[in-house]
C-alpha cells in the first residue's frame, strides 16, 4: 500500500532521531547520577549509600524520562506505538475475551465491507462513460402508454432539429446468428446508430468505430465487436485488416474492437451493427406510429440543463404533432438522466442493505462494549496501580482506546477476508443489472472504508469502559468489583439497544420473507414445473419458411421421448418481451391514437395453452385450420375479456388491434390471465393470434417434459437441430427458474436481511445473556444475604427475571417504534404485505421476546441457586 510508504518516509527520520535523543537523555541522566554520587562520596559517604541517595534525590528515573519525552513535541506517534505494544500484551493475556470480541467485530465489519464493495462498485464509482452526468435517455409516451421506445422517423427528426444535444443515438437489442469457429451460434447483438459511440464517449481498443457512411442503406457491411467476443471468436488477433465474420449468412468486415470495460446501458451485446444500414428500408422503421424497441440516448451540450432539453424536445414534438397528427397528435417525450435511470431503482435498495449491515455492526459494538466494561471492572486494580505509578487519567483513557482500536482492527482484518469471500456470491445472487456490478471486489477503497468502519467501531465500544470508569474513580479505587451507577445505566442502555436493533432487523426480514412467499404463491396462469423455453431467432428469410421451421420444430420436439407437449410462442410467460398495440372493441369508438387503451400482442402455435397447462375459460383453442387464408381469430385473456364484455361472454366479439397483421379479429376463446412481465407485475390486457396469421421470425419453443427439464431441453435442442442444423438456439430457460428470478429483488433483500437478522438475534441473545449473567455475578453477595435472610428461591428468581423482563420490554418498545419508521424504506420491495403489517410485527416481537427471555432464564436460575455461604465467602 502506498500510504505505508508515506508514513515510513514521514516518520522514519523522526524515529531515528528519536533513538538518538533518547540515548542522549539516558546519558545526561546517567551523568547526573554519577556526578551526584561522586559529590557525596567526596563528602565522605559510602559509595553504595551515595548511589542510593543520588537516586532518591533524583526521583523516579523512568517517570522523569517519560515526562521529559512528553516535552518533545513529536511524541504522539511513538507513544501510540508504545501503547499499541502494551495493549497487545494486555489482549494476549485475555485470549478468550480478545477472540470473542474480534470474532464479533469481524462479523459486523465483514458484513459492512461486503455490502460496501457492491455499493461502491455500483453507486459510488462513476459510470463507464465520460461525463455521464450529461447523458440523457429519451422515450416516448402516450396518455394510455407511459413508456414507448422511440420511433425511427421521430428519432431522425429529433436528431435534425434539436438544439440541446451534442448528438442523439439509438440502439436496439437484438440477436444474430454468427458463425464462431465454424459453429453457428446466436450472439447477443445491438443494432446501433453510428452516433452511439460518440454520444457515449467510447474509444475503440483496436481499429475504428462506426461512421455515418457505414450507417447508410447500401453501405458495405461492417461490424464492431465487443472485447470478449474478439478474444473468443477472433482469438485476440490484433491484426484486423481483411478480417470478416459471418453474420446471418453474410461475411461482414470487422471494423474495430471495443475496450474490455465498455458496456451498453442495460444491454449485453457481442456485436454492434449499424442500424441505418440494416433497417432503414424496413416497414417497421418507416412507419412513424411504430416503436420498434429503439432505446434513445443523447448527450447534453455543455451547460444545457435537463429542463432546457425537455423544453427543446417538447417544441419539436408539438411540431411533429402538427405535421403527423395520425401518429403523433398525443405523443410526448420523457427525458431522464442516464445515471438516474440506471441506478435510481437500485440506490434505495442497496443503501437499505448497507444500513442493515450498519445495524449489525452497531449490535456487535454493543456486545463488545459490554464485554470490555466487564473486563474493565475486573481490571480496576491494574488501573489503580498504573495510576499511582504516575499514569494520568488521559493516559489510561488512551490506553483503553488503544486496546479497543487494536481489537477493532483485528476484527476489521478478518472482516475484510470475510468480505473477499462473500463479494463473489453476493454479486452472483444479486438481481441488479448495473454497470460496474460485475467488477465489485475488495479494493483499496473498500480497505479504506473497512479501516474507517473499524475506527468508528473502536470509538463506539471503546468509550463504554471509559464512561463506566470515569464514575467509579478510575485511578484511586483499589477495590475490585466496583460498578458505578453510570456503568449500570450504560449496561441497561446497551441491553435495550441490542433488543431494539435485533427487532428492527427481524421485522424487516419478516416483511421481505412474506413478500417472497406472496410472490411465489401468485398464480402465474400456467404450470411452470417441467416447462422449458428455448428461444430461437431466425435471421431473415421468407416468412413462410420461418413459419414452416417453427411448425416442424414443435412437431419434432413433441415426439421426443420424455416430452409430453410442445408449442411455440412469440412472447413466453415472464419474459416481458411482448409487443403492445392500441385496441378498441366492437362498437367502442376509435377516438384517435392517444385515447386508446393498449394491449399486449402475442403470437402462438395451436398447442400453446395445452403445453403450458392453461385451461380455456370459454370458446376454443387455435387449430391447424386457423391459417393465413382463414378468418382472422384471437384468443384474449380474462382482463381483456372483461374490457370487451362487461357482462356475459367475450367469445364472438370483434376486436380491432392496430398493429396486428389483420386489424379486425374475432374472439374465439378466453384464457386466464398469464403473468408476462413478472409474477409481481399486474397483468395487462393480452391478445393471442395464431402465428400462421401473423408470422414472426423469432419465437420460443416451450417444452413440457415428464422427467427432468434439463434432459428434455437437451433432447429438444437436438430435435430442433435436426430440422435445421444451421439454426442455433439463443437461450434456454427453465420457467420455474424464471418465476424465482422475477422475485429476485425480494429474494436478494430477504436473504440478506434474514442473514443479518439471524446474526443480530444471535448476538443479542449472547449479549443479553452475558449482561444478565454479569449482573447476577455482581449481585452474588446481595442475593446470598437475601437467601440467608429467608428469601425463597422463587422470589430471587423473579427478582432477577423482573429486571430482565423490564429491559426486554423497553427494548421491544424502542425496536417497534424504530421498525415502524424504518420499514417504510422497504415499501417498494414489499409485495402482498404492508410496511406496517401487524402480524409480521407481532411475530418478530414474539420471536425476539422469546429469545431474549430465554437468554435471561439461565442467569436468573443461577441466581436463585446461589449458595448463601459461598456467596458470603465470595468477597
Partner 1 sequence: MNTVKESKPDRIELLQGTLDMMILRTLQWGPQHGHGIGQAIRASSLDALQIEHGSLYPALHRLRKQGWIEAEWKITENKQRARYYRLTERGRKQLSAEESRWNRMVEAIARVMKPASSS
Which residues bind to partner 1, rule: CB under 8 A?
24-25, 27-29, 31-32, 34-36, 38-39, 57-61, 63-64, 67-68, 70-73, 387-388, 390, 392-393, 475-476
Which residue, 38 or 282, has its beta carbon nearer to partner 1? 38
Which one, 73 or 589, has the nearer CB to partner 1?
73
The residue among 70 and 523 lying less far from partner 1, judged by its C-beta, is: 70
Q: Smallest gap, in angstroms, from Cβ of residue 405 to partner 1?
A: 24
Shortest CB 403 distance to partner 1, Å: 21
Nearest approach in angstroms of CB 50 to partner 1 is 14
Distance in Å, CB of 23 to partner 1, minimum: 12
Beta carbon nearer to partner 1, 36 or 439 = 36
Question: Nearer to partner 1 by C-beta: 390 or 707?
Answer: 390
Taking Cα atoms as reference points, which of 751, 764, 747, 748 lies closest to residue 847?
A: 764
Contact assessment for residue 626 and residue 681, using Cβ atoms and an 8 Å cutoff: no
Please give the Cα distance from 797 to 829 (Å, whole number): 45
Map residue 38 onto helix, strand or coil. Answer: helix
Measured CA to CA, the distance from residue 152 to residue 275 in angstroms comes to 10
Burial class (CB in 10 A: 0-12, 13-18, 19+), 661: middle
> Which residues, 6+ apart, have CB-to-CB distance to 67 below 8 Å?
none
Q: Which helix (H) or strand (E) holds 133?
A: none
Q: Buried b vs exposed e over 270-308: b needs ≥16 C-beta within 10 Å?
A: bbbbbbbbbbbeeeebeebbbbbbbbbbbbbeeebebee
Closest among 535, 621, 615 to 574, alpha carbons compared: 535
Spatial separation of the C-alpha atoms in residues 372 and 408, rounded to whole Å = 12
Nearest distance, CB of residue 395 and partner 1, angstroms: 9
Q: How far is the CB of 15 from partner 1 (least distance, A)?
A: 18
CB nearer partner 1, residue 82 or residue 330? 82
Number of CB atoms found within 10 A of residue 9's CB: 9
- Minimum Å gap between C-beta 58 and partner 1 is 5
**3-state SS, residue 542:** coil
Q: What is the dihedral of CA 300, 301, 303, 306, to 10 degrees?
A: -30
Sign of CA dihedral 347, 350, 356, 360: negative
Give CA torsion, residues 718, 721, 725, 726, to 10 deg: -120
Residue 53 or 123: the one with the smaller Cβ distance to partner 1 is 53
Q: Beta-carbon neighbour count of residue 831 at 10 Å? A: 20
Dihedral sign, Cα of residue 650, residue 656, residue 659, residue 662: positive
**Nearest CB to partner 1, comparing residues 387 and 573:** 387
Nearer to partner 1, 478 or 718 (CB): 478
Q: How far is the CB of 55 from partner 1 (least distance, A)?
A: 10
Instruction: State the minimum distance, in angstroms, from the CB of residue 397 to partner 1.
Output: 13
* C-alpha cell recorded at residue 251: 461475411
Nearer to partner 1, 159 or 395 (CB): 395
* Minimum distance, C-beta of residue 26 to partner 1, in the bound complex (Å): 11
487: Cα within 13 Å, side-chain hemisphere: 25
Amino acid at each position: 500500500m502506498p500510504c505505508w510508504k508515506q508514513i515510513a518516509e514521514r516518520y522514519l527520520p523522526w524515529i531515528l532521531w528519536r533513538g538518538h535523543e533518547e540515548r542522549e537523555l539516558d546519558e545526561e541522566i546517567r551523568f547526573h547520577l554519577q556526578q551526584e554520587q561522586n559529590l557525596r562520596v567526596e563528602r565522605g559517604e559510602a559509595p553504595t549509600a551515595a548511589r542510593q541517595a543520588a537516586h532518591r534525590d533524583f526521583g523516579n528515573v523512568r517517570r522523569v524520562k517519560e515526562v521529559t519525552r512528553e516535552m518533545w513535541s513529536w511524541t504522539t506517534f511513538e507513544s501510540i506505538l508504545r501503547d499499541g505494544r502494551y495493549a497487545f500484551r494486555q489482549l494476549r493475556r485475555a485470549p478468550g475475551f480478545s477472540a470473542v470480541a474480534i470474532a464479533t467485530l469481524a462479523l459486523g465489519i465483514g458484513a459492512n465491507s461486503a455490502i460496501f464493495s457492491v455499493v461502491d462498485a455500483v453507486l459510488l464509482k462513476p459510470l463507464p462513460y465520460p461525463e455521464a452526468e450529461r447523458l440523457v435517455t429519451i422515450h416516448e409516451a402516450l396518455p394510455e402508454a407511459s413508456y414507448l421506445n422511440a420511433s425511427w422517423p421521430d428519432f431522425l427528426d429529433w436528431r435534425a432539429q434539436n438544439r440541446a444535444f451534442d448528438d442523439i443515438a439509438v440502439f436496439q437489442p437484438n440477436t444474430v446468428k454468427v458463425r464462431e469457429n465454424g459453429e453457428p451460434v446466436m450472439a447477443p447483438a445491438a443494432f446501433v446508430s453510428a452516433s452511439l459511440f460518440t454520444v457515449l464517449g467510447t474509444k475503440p481498443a483496436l481499429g475504428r468505430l462506426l461512421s455515418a457512411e457505414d450507417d447508410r442503406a447500401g453501405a458495405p457491411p461492417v461490424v464492431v465487436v465487443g472485447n470478449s467476443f474478439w478474444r473468443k471468436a477472433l482469438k485476440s488477433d490484433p491484426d484486423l485488416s481483411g478480417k470478416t465474420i459471418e453474420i446471418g449468412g453474410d461475411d461482414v468486415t470487422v471494423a474495430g474492437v471495443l475496450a474490455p470495460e465498455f458496456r451498453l446501458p442495460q444491454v449485453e451485446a457481442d456485436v454492434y451493427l449499424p442500424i441505418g444500414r440494416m433497417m432503414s428500408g424496413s416497414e417497421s422503421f418507416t412507419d412513424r406510429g411504430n416503436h420498434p424497441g429503439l432505446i434513445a440516448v443523447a448527450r447534453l451540450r455543455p451547460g444545457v440543463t435537463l429542463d432546457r432539453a425537455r423544453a427543446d424536445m417538447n417544441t419539436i414534438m408539438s411540431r411533429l404533432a402538427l405535421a403527423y397528427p395520425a401518429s403523433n397528435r398525443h405523443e410526448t417525450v420523457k427525458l431522464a438522466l442516464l445515471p438516474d435511470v440506471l441506478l435510481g431503482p437500485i440506490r434505495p435498495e442497496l443503501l437499505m442493505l448497507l444500513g442493515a449491515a450498519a445495524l449489525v455492526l452497531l449490535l456487535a459494538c454493543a456486545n463488545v462494549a459490554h464485554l470490555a466494561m466487564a473486563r474493565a471492572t475486573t481490571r480496576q486494580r491494574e488501573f489503580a496501580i498504573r495510576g499511582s505509578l504516575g499514569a494520568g487519567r488521559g493516559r489510561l483513557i488512551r490506553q483503553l482506546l488503544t486496546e479497543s482500536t487494536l481489537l477493532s482492527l483485528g476484527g476489521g482484518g478478518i472482516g475484510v477476508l470475510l468480505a473477499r469471500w462473500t463479494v463473489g456470491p453476493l454479486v452472483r445472487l444479486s438481481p441488479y443489472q448495473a454497470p460496474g456490478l460485475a467488477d465489485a471486489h475488495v479494493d483499496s477503497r473498500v480497505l479504506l472504508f473497512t479501516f474507517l468502519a473499524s475506527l468508528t467501531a473502536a470509538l463506539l465500544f471503546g468509550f463504554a469502559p471509559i464512561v463506566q470508569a470515569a464514575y467509579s474513580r478510575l485511578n484511586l479505587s483499589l477495590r475490585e468489583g466496583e460498578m458505578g451507577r453510570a456503568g449500570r445505566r450504560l449496561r441497561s442502555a446497551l441491553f435495550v439497544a441490542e433488543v431494539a436493533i435485533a427487532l428492527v432487523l427481524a421485522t424487516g426480514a419478516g416483511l421481505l420473507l412474506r413478500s417472497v412467499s406472496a410472490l411465489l404463491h401468485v398464480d402465474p396462469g400456467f404450470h411452470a414445473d417441467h416447462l422449458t423455453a428455448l428461444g430461437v431467432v431466425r435471421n431473415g428469410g421468407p416468412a413462410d419458411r420461418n413459419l414452416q421451421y417453427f411448425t416442424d420444430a414443435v412437431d419434432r420436439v413433441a415426439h421426443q421421448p420424455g416430452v409430453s407437449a410442445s408449442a411455440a410462442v412469440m412472447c413466453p410467460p415472464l419474459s416481458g418481451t411482448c409487443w403492445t398495440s392500441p385496441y378498441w372493441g366492437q362498437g367502442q369508438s376509435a377516438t384517435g391514437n392517444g385515447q386508446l387503451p393498449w394491449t399486449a400482442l402475442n403470437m402462438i402455435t395451436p398447442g400453446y395453452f395445452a403445453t403450458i397447462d392453461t385451461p380455456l375459460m370459454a370458446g376454443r383453442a387455435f387449430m391447424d385450420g386457423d391459417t393465413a387464408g382463414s378468418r382472422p381469430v384471437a384468443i384474449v385473456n380474462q382482463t381483456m375479456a372483461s374490457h370487451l364484455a362487461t357482462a356475459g361472454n367475450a367469445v364472438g366479439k370483434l376486436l380491432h388491434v392496430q398493429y396486428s397483421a389483420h386489424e379486425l379479429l374475432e374472439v374465439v376463446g378466453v384464457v386466464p390471465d398469464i403473468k408476462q412481465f413478472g409474477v409481481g407485475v399486474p397483468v395487462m390486457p393480452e391478445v393471442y393470434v395464431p402465428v400462421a396469421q401473423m408470422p414472426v421470425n423469432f419465437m420460443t419453443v416451450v417444452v413440457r417434459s415428464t422427467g427432468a427439464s434439463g434432459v428434455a431441453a437437451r433432447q429438444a435442442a437436438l430435435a430442433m437441430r435436426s430440422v435445421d442444423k444451421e439454426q442455433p438456439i439463443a437461450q434456454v430457460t427453465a420457467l420455474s427458474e424464471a418465476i424465482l428470478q422475477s422475485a429476485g429483488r425480494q429474494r436478494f433483500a430477504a436473504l440478506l436481511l434474514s442473514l443479518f437478522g439471524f446474526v443480530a438475534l444471535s448476538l443479542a441473545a449472547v449479549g443479553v445473556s452475558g449482561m444478565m449473567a454479569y449482573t447476577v455475578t455482581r449481585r452474588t453477595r446481595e442475593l446470598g444475604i437475601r437467601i440467608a435472610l429467608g428469601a425463597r428461591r422463587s422470589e430471587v428468581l423473579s427478582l432477577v427475571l423482573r429486571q430482565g423482563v423490564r429491559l426486554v420490554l423497553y427494548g421491544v418498545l424502542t425496536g417497534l417504534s424504530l421498525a415502524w419508521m424504518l420499514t417504510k424504506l422497504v415499501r417498494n420491495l414489499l409485495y402482498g404485505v404492508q410496511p406496517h403489517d401487524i402480524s409480521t410485527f407481532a411475530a418478530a416481537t414474539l420471536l425476539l421476546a422469546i429469545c431474549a427471555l430465554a437468554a435471561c432464564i439461565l442467569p436468573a436460575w443461577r441466581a436463585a441457586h446461589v449458595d448463601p455461604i459461598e456467596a458470603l465467602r465470595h468477597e
